[in-house]
Amino acid sequence: YVGPDGYVGSYGTMEPSASASRIPLPSATDDLIAIAVYAVCGAVLLGLILITAFVVALLRRRPITRSRQVRGQMEVEETRIMQEIYRSLGKMENRIEALETLLLERPRTGVYSEPAGCGMRRP
């Protein structure tokens, strides 16, 4: 039990006991100090959150930039390879046409035509 004078007494009595101790009552200064401590802790916590968000944003931005560079380099390489394949196919088409021309203009002497100077006979 806390009496009106701030002493802790035994239950049911208004008289202070021998082991009574004085309990300090909170004052306006204590409230201001508590508010200041909460404000400082909140500011530190907010600062940590903002720094963390900034670092995360930087880390997320860098790989995207790198992947865009890599993607751009891959597109250039793919374009170069496709152009090379296109040129090679054009050359192959010319070779096939030349072979077709040789085969069609060649006289046929039987079922199998013998190459000149071969010396081997087919049945």
The residue among 71 and 98 whose pLDDT is bigger is 98
How far is the C-alpha of 34 from the C-alpha of 26, rounded, in Å?
Answer: 11
Coil vs helix vs strand at 16:
strand
What's residue 78's pLDDT?
93
Tokens of 95: 């070779």
Whole-prediction pTM value?
0.34
Quick one: how far is CA 75 from the chain centroid? 21
Per-residue confidence band for 23, with pLDDT thresholds at 50, 70 and 90: low
What's residue 71's pLDDT?
79
